[in-house]
């Protein structure tokens, strides 16, 4: 317990790999730093690699599923996106090499997430134009070539599609799978002034029609959900329903979503908890633990709150981590 | 009570879970000292199990400040500061008992319990309970922890064991119902110290008296001597009383004549204590008292013994004793033996001691829990003690058979280990409790409390690299969501660099039939090995995964390396390629890359064979046969049309030796023309992009061209 890593100045974003053995930090000068423990230890983290990935600050970093090796994707504050992987060079050193750089995206990329789908490695990118772009690696081993498979607006109907939206931030989260192959379902939330586009939406790829369609909208009339900062889909180890947490500028909301019994059916969505405990109200991020039983939410107040459902199914704050 | 209780012990409100990281005070939760003046940005991530990783990042305008990542261990942390050493010992030691009980449970359910084992379920649980209790008793946790601070005490093995043993009395051991007061005496003897602070504990008090008075000639002059004995007698520590009585000064040889009557009275009391009838099956060795298992017989003997006590109390010998302290002390002991409530209250310090004294001396015939809660409450009112309130409430809930409160309190007080293991005790003989704990509830999609606590414990085990391997045993006992959590656990293991760990994970997949996860593990290790220069290992692991798509991609990469002149990555020599192609095997020949690799390997092997035969001076016929075989392999390689053209020049270069074959023409005119056309093709189509290191003009290519022309001429002449 205690300090695990002392970072260098200028860290914009941190991201851990799935087994929590490596941590990538995106820096304000556009470089990426990789931290890992010294060989044979579980602690003693140090920076093992660093390189310049972008010309401007790295905004977000994500790790690919470990079945594809040590691979990260990052997007910078100029909206470009790149993919890097660790390999061993001829001198037997671990080095990070560029796999692909996406310079031609139509709108700046705000968030991105990998998924290990049955057809291969996919990457969904949320753009500042409130559009989602799904890419797939054409080779499972060489991640140099990526194909844009789908591009669609995060809109429920034609009227929304026609609306011109500009977003300042976005958050995407695939539905976590307990088996290695992921179903093509994700939740996305955009940070924008348009109220309709500020609703977190769940998208699913329909195999029958080979296109992405909107499955659910996480919204209810009784509350104001503010501007979305982060969405997080809980791991499901056997629940008959899914859990999604939405962190926003004024609240943390926990949603349950039934697992649809058949294709084309819209799952029932229910608000399980709406919390404004973080002061002054802004929740920047929420993450589920490995069982999906505990949710940790980070507030702009510097406090991490831990939430659990009681035996009646009501979500409550159970503890908190306060920094000083 | 239960409905509002915490389900996984992250609750910072309970004494057990409240803790601090570094220093600071916080009534509820965890405190992390990050040291930033202004509230930093926070990013969170879950580590393995119950670890939370919190990144504290200063705002961009504070560029000079460096961020830090803190790891917070949620749930009860180990107090002894040895990185959870004692918790790990507990986890490892209790595993076999848990497995054994689960196995017995399965056999019991299908009626196939082996011969000789008991067919009454609670007796199986009793054995499990005693094994665990013994294991808890061997804890190496420093005793000072629970004596000095009862707020920290809740997590120590000593308190866990005390509660465990109490649960055994009330929830498991049916036989204990018949001799409940004596079970209570035994409990207080064993666990008395956990009830009080160090200085006021009865055990400490008596040990202190013993040390202090052992060397005194006349200990009876000290008030401690008589008070200590009265306390010991009240709670049933008769061996202590008899020993102490016989330390009385009147036993000294130089005193016996002067104090004969006094000595007689002391000895009479000692004999009465030694002969006290006890309603219990047996007594520990050298313990005073006469045991009776049959209640009517005990009642008869106890009445008779009581009469003797009364007779002594009223005896005229007291008038002949002149030591007032002895008279007063002995009378107090007799009052205790006669069940004088006031004296009992005065001689005990904790309410549980008073309760025990009440049962032992006032209600020795009481059965199990008859009026227990009411009596306990009365005793509690009489004695204000320093035991933690949570613990007292827990003990009262156990007395009152209030299982819901017992569960709620234990969740708050103890580490997840306790919950995962004590459920077996609670459900040993009560159908009601079984319904409470094993019925599916509206929590996390309909799992029972029993499963919930096992999942919670398994998650805490997953937090440490030395205990994660124990978690699958508990997850396997969770019918609802155990398998899902096991899959998540295995998928999160850091397998990439650890071959041993990967093998362990595969073993788990085999045991629990997780084929999909096993394939994923093999893919992970395979791809990681391949990308980190361990190409052979990569191939082996990917073959183990049975992933044709990856193997195909891999053979294409290998081929690309060969066609680039064998200088790619880590593959430097033909021998390496040959070994790798062998590893890849034949079953994936359908893929182009692998098929070409196999043919290239065959051609190179045939050439190697020629060189070997030459070095051994083999006869000409054999050598010619080998040469012809190499030519066949060469055309197998070239005729498919899929061999990359950039590979051709190196193949043609190898062919020179065959073209210049002494004494015989190996390639006929048609074959030679095919090779000439290939060379021409290369020039015409100019497909040398990306292979700049190979030159089409130069001595090597000229030599190939010359050899081809010469062989063409020779073949014409031969025909």
The percentage of residues in chain B with a pLDDT greater than 70, rounded to a whole number, is 80
> Is a pLDDT exceeding 60 seen at residue B639?
yes
Range from A123-137, A162-176, B140-154, B322-336 that averages highest in pLDDT: A123-137
Contact assignment for A9 to B63 by CB distance below 8 Å = yes
What are the chain B neighbours of A19 within 8 Å (beta carbons)?
A: 48, 492-496
| In a shared domain, residues A98 and A214 | no
What residues make up the domain containing A76?
Answer: 1-104
> Is a pLDDT exceeding 80 seen at residue B116?
no
Q: Which residue has the tokens 């994500």?
A: A62
Task: Report the distance separating Cα A27 and Cα B57, nearest Å.
Answer: 11
B636, B589 Cβ separation under 8 angstroms: no
What are the chain A neighbours of B24 within 8 Å (beta carbons)?
A: 324
Please tell me if residue B5 touches chain A, with a CB cutoff of 8 Å.
yes
- The tokens describing B22, both together, are 């570094």
Higher pLDDT, B575 or B39: B39
Q: Give the pLDDT mean for B328-347.
A: 86
Please tell me if residue A91 touches chain B, with a CB cutoff of 8 Å.
no
Q: Give the pLDDT mean for B687-694.
A: 48
What are the chain B neighbours of A23 within 8 Å (beta carbons)?
A: 69
| In a shared domain, residues A281 and A297 | yes
Query: Would you give the distance in Å from CA B211 to the centre of its chain?
Result: 42
Omega within 30 of 0 (cis) for the link into A280: yes
Name the domain boundary from A85, A104, A123: A104
CATH code (residue A125): 2.130.10.10
In a domain, A168, yes or no: yes
In a domain, A141, yes or no: no
Contact assignment for A19 to B65 by CB distance below 8 Å = no
| In a shared domain, residues A313 and A202 | yes
The band of A187, judged by pLDDT with boundaries at 50, 70 and 90, is very high
> Is a pLDDT exceeding 70 seen at residue B16?
no
Q: DSSP string of B473-490?
A: HHHHT-TTTHHHHHHHHH
The percentage of residues in chain A with a pLDDT greater than 90, rounded to a whole number, is 40
pLDDT at B566: 43
The band of B76, judged by pLDDT with boundaries at 50, 70 and 90, is low
| In a shared domain, residues A115 and A11 | no
> Is a pLDDT exceeding 70 seen at residue B665?
yes
Taking CA–CA distances from A298, the nearest residue in chain B reads B42
- The tokens describing B409, both together, are 């309190």
- The tokens describing A226, both together, are 């503010």
In a domain, A143, yes or no: no
Q: Which of B535, B439, B444, B433 is nearest to B481 (CA)?
A: B444
| In a shared domain, residues A98 and A167 | no
Q: Which of B226, B253, B255, B251 is nearest to B241 (CA)?
A: B226
Task: Report the distance separating Cα B145 and Cα A74, nearest Å.
Answer: 49
> Is a pLDDT exceeding 50 seen at residue B142?
no
The band of A126, judged by pLDDT with boundaries at 50, 70 and 90, is very high
Q: For chain A, how many structural domains are there in total?
A: 2
Picking from B64, B69, B532, the nearest residue to A4 by CB comes out as B69
B549, B519 Cβ separation under 8 angstroms: no
pTM reported for the whole predicted model:
0.83
Q: Which residue has the tokens 């003897």?
A: B189
> Is a pLDDT exceeding 70 seen at residue B177?
yes
Q: Give the pLDDT mean for B323-328.
A: 82
| In a shared domain, residues A203 and A265 | yes
In a domain, A136, yes or no: no
Q: Which of B233, B228, B223, B235 is nearest to B195 (CA)?
A: B235
> Is a pLDDT exceeding 60 seen at residue B564?
no
DSSP character at residue A182: B
The band of A70, judged by pLDDT with boundaries at 50, 70 and 90, is very high
In a domain, A140, yes or no: no
Measured in angstroms, the CA of A241 and the nearest CA of chain B are apart by 7
Q: What are phi and psi of B424, to 5 degrees?
A: -65, -35
A200, A228 Cβ separation under 8 angstroms: yes
| In a shared domain, residues A176 and A229 | yes
From start to end of B144-191, where are the E strands?
Answer: none
Task: Report the distance separating Cα A135 and Cα A122, nearest Å.
Answer: 6
Q: Give the pLDDT mean for B193-199.
A: 66
What are the chain B neighbours of A6 within 8 Å (beta carbons)?
A: 66, 68
Higher pLDDT, A180 or B182: B182
Task: Report the distance separating Cα B527 and Cα B284, nearest Å.
Answer: 64
| In a shared domain, residues A167 and A189 | yes
| In a shared domain, residues A83 and A119 | no
Best probe of the B interface among A180, A277, A317, by most B CBs < 10 A, is A180
| In a shared domain, residues A73 and A220 | no
The predicted-structure confidence for B459-469, as pLDDT tens digits, reads as follows: 989 888 888 99
Q: Mapping DSSP to helix (H, G, I), strand (E, B) and coil, where does residue B328 land?
A: helix
Q: What are phi and psi of A258, to 5 degrees?
A: -65, 150
> Is a pLDDT exceeding 60 seen at residue B548?
yes
The least confident of A238-252, A298-312, B373-387, B395-409 is B373-387
Mean residue pLDDT of chain B comes to: 78
In a domain, A52, yes or no: yes
Q: Which of B591, B691, B598 is nearest to B649 (CA)?
A: B691
Contact assignment for B516 to A179 by CB distance below 8 Å = yes
The predicted-structure confidence for A274-300, as pLDDT tens digits, reads as follows: 998 877 778 999 999 998 999 999 998
| In a shared domain, residues A10 and A125 | no
Q: Which residue has the tokens 């010992």?
A: B89
Best probe of the B interface among A36, A77, A179, A234, by most B CBs < 10 A, is A179
Task: ipTM value, please give it.
Answer: 0.94
> Is a pLDDT exceeding 70 seen at residue A169?
yes
Q: DSSP string of B508-534?
A: HHHHTT-HHHHHHHHHHHHHHHHHTT-
What are the chain A neighbours of B26 within 8 Å (beta carbons)?
A: 322
Q: Residue B304: CB partners within 8 Å, gap ≥ 6?
A: none
Task: Report the distance separating Cα B637 and Cα B674, nearest Å.
Answer: 13
Contact assignment for B527 to A69 by CB distance below 8 Å = yes
The predicted-structure confidence for B503-525, as pLDDT tens digits, reads as follows: 999 999 999 998 889 999 999 99
In a domain, A295, yes or no: yes
The least confident of B402-406, B526-530, B577-581 is B577-581
Task: Report the distance separating Cα B83 and Cα B274, nearest Å.
Answer: 49
Task: Report the distance separating Cα A58 and Cα A28, nearest Å.
Answer: 6
pLDDT at B582: 66
What are the chain A neighbours of B520 within 8 Å (beta carbons)?
A: 67, 179-180
Taking CA–CA distances from B82, the nearest residue in chain A reads A1
Task: Report the distance separating Cα B268 and Cα B281, nearest Å.
Answer: 26
| In a shared domain, residues A122 and A57 | no
Q: How many helices and strands in chain B, by DSSP H and E? A: 32, 6
Contact assignment for B55 to A139 by CB distance below 8 Å = no
Measured in angstroms, the CA of B59 and the nearest CA of chain A are apart by 9
DSSP character at residue B275: T
Helix ranges (H only) for B250-388 are: 260-274, 295-313, 324-337, 341-347, 351-357, 372-382
pLDDT at B693: 46
HSE-CB at A284 with a 13 A cutoff on CA atoms is 20
Higher pLDDT, B91 or A39: B91
Taking CA–CA distances from A323, the nearest residue in chain B reads B32
CA-based diameter of chain B, in Å?
A: 148
Helix ranges (H only) for B361-498 are: 372-382, 389-399, 403-413, 416-426, 431-438, 449-461, 471-476, 482-491
């Amino acid at each position: 317990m205690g300090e695990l890593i002392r970072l260098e100045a200028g860290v914009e974003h941190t991201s851990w790999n799935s087994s929590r053995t490596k941590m990538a930090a995106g820096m304000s000068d556009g470089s990426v730093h990789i931290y890992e423990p010294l060989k044979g230890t579980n602690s003693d983290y140090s920076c093992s690699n660093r390189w310049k990935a972008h010309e401007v600050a790295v905004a977000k970093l994500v790790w690919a599923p470990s079945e594809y090796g040590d691979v990260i994707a990052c997007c910078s504050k100029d909206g470009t996106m790149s993919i890097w992987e660790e390999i061993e060079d001829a001198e037997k050193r671990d080095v990070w090499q560029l796999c692909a750089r996406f310079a031609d995206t139509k709108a700046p990329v705000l968030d991105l997430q990998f998924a290990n789908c049955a057809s291969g490695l996919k990457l969904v990118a949320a753009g500042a134009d409130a559009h989602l772009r799904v890419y797939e690696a054409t080779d499972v081993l060489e991640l140099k070539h990526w194909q844009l498979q789908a591009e669609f607006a995060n809109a429920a109907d034609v009227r929304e599609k026609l609306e011109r939206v500009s977003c300042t931030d976005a958050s995407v989260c695939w539905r976590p799978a307990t088996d290695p192959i992921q179903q093509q379902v994700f939740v996305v939330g955009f940070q924008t002034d348009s109220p309709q586009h500020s609703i977190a939406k769940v998208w699913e790829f329909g195999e029958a029609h080979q296109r992405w369609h909107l499955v659910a909208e996480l919204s209810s009339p009784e509350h104001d959900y503010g501007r979305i900062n982060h969405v997080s889909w809980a791991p499901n180890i056997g629940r008959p329903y899914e859990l999604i947490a939405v962190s926003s500028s004024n609240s943390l909301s926990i949603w349950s979503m039934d697992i649809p019994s058949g294709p084309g059916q819209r799952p029932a969505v229910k608000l399980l908890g709406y919390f404004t405990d973080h002061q002054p109200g802004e929740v920047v991020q929420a993450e589920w633990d490995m069982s999906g039983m505990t949710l940790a939410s980070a507030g702009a107040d510097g406090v991490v709150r831990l939430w659990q459902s009681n035996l009646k199914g009501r979500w409550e704050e159970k503890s908190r981590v306060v920094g000083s | 009570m239960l409905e509002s209780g915490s389900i996984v012990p992250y609750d910072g409100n309970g004494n057990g879970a409240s803790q601090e990281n570094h220093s600071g005070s916080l009534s509820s939760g965890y405190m992390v000292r990050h040291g930033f003046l202004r509230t930093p940005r926070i990013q969170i991530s879950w580590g393995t199990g119950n670890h939370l990783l919190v990144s504290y990042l200063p705002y961009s305008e504070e560029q000079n400040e460096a961020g830090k990542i803190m790891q917070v261990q949620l749930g009860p942390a180990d107090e002894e500061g040895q990185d959870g050493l004692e918790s790990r010992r507990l986890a490892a030691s209790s595993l076999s008992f848990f497995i054994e009980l689960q196995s017995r449970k399965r056999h019991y359910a299908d009626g196939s319990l082996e011969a000789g084992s008991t067919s009454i379920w609670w007796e199986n649980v009793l054995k499990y309970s005693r094994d665990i209790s013994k294991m808890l008793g061997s804890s190496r946790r420093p005793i000072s922890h629970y004596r000095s601070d009862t707020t920290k005490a809740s997590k120590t093995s000593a308190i866990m064991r005390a509660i465990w043993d109490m649960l055994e009395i009330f929830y498991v051991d049916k036989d204990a119902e018949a001799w409940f007061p004596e079970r209570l005496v035994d409990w207080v003897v064993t666990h008395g110290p956990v009830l009080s602070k160090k200085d006021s504990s009865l055990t400490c008090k008596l040990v202190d008296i013993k040390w202090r008075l052992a060397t005194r000639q006349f200990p009876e002059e000290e008030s401690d001597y008589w008070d200590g004995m009265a306390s010991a007698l009240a709670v049933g520590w008769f061996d202590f009383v008899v020993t102490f009585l016989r330390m009385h000064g009147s036993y000294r040889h130089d005193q016996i004549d002067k104090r004969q009557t006094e000595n007689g009275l002391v000895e009479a009391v000692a004999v009465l204590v030694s002969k006290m009838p006890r309603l219990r099956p047996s007594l520990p060795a050298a313990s005073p008292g006469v045991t009776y298992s049959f209640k009517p017989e005990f009642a008869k003997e106890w009445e008779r013994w009581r009469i003797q006590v009364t007779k002594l109390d009223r005896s005229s010998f007291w008038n002949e004793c002149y030591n007032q302290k002895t008279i007063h002390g002995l009378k107090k002991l007799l009052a205790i033996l006669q069940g004088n409530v006031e004296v009992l209250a005065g001689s005990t310090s904790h309410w549980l001691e008073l309760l025990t004294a009440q049962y032992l001396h006032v209600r020795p015939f009481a059965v199990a829990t008859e009026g227990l809660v009411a009596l306990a409450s009365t005793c509690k009112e009489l004695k204000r003690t320093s035991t933690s309130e949570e613990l007292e409430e827990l003990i009262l809930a156990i007395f009152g058979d209030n299982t819901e409160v017992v569960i709620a309190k234990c969740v708050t007080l103890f580490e997840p280990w306790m919950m995962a293991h004590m459920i077996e005790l609670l459900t040993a003989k009560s159908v009601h409790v079984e319904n409470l704990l094993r019925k599916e509830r509206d929590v996390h999609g309909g799992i029972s409390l029993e499963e919930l606590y096992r999942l919670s414990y398994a998650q805490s085990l997953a937090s440490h690299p030395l205990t994660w391997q124990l978690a699958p045993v508990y997850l396997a006992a969770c019918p609802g969501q155990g398998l899902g959590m096991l899959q998540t656990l295995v998928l999160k293991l850091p397998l990439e660099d650890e071959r041993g760990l990967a093998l362990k994970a595969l073993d788990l997949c085999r045991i629990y039939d997780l084929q999909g996860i096993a394939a994923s593990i093999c893919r992970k290790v395979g791809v990681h090995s391949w990308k980190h220069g361990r190409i052979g290992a990569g191939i082996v692991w990917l073959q183990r995964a049975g992933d044709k798509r990856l193997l195909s991609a891999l053979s294409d990469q290998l081929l690309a390396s060969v066609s680039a002149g064998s200088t790619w990555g880590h593959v430097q020599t033909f021998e390496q390629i040959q070994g790798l192609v062998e590893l890849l095997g034949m079953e994936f020949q359908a893929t182009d890359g692998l098929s070409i690799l196999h043919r290239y390997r065959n051609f190179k092997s045939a050439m190697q064979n020629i060189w070997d035969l030459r070095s051994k001076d083999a006869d000409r016929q054999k050598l010619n046969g080998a040469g012809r075989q190499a030519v066949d392999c060469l055309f197998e390689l070239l005729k498919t049309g899929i061999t990359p053209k950039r590979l051709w020049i190196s193949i043609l270069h190898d062919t020179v030796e065959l073209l210049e074959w002494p004494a015989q023409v190996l390639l006929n005119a048609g074959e030679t023309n095919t090779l000439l056309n290939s060379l021409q093709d290369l020039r015409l189509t100019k497909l040398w992009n990306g292979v700049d290191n190979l030159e089409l003009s130069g001595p090597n290519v000229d030599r190939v061209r010359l050899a081809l022309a010469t062989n063409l001429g020779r073949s014409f002449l031969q025909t």
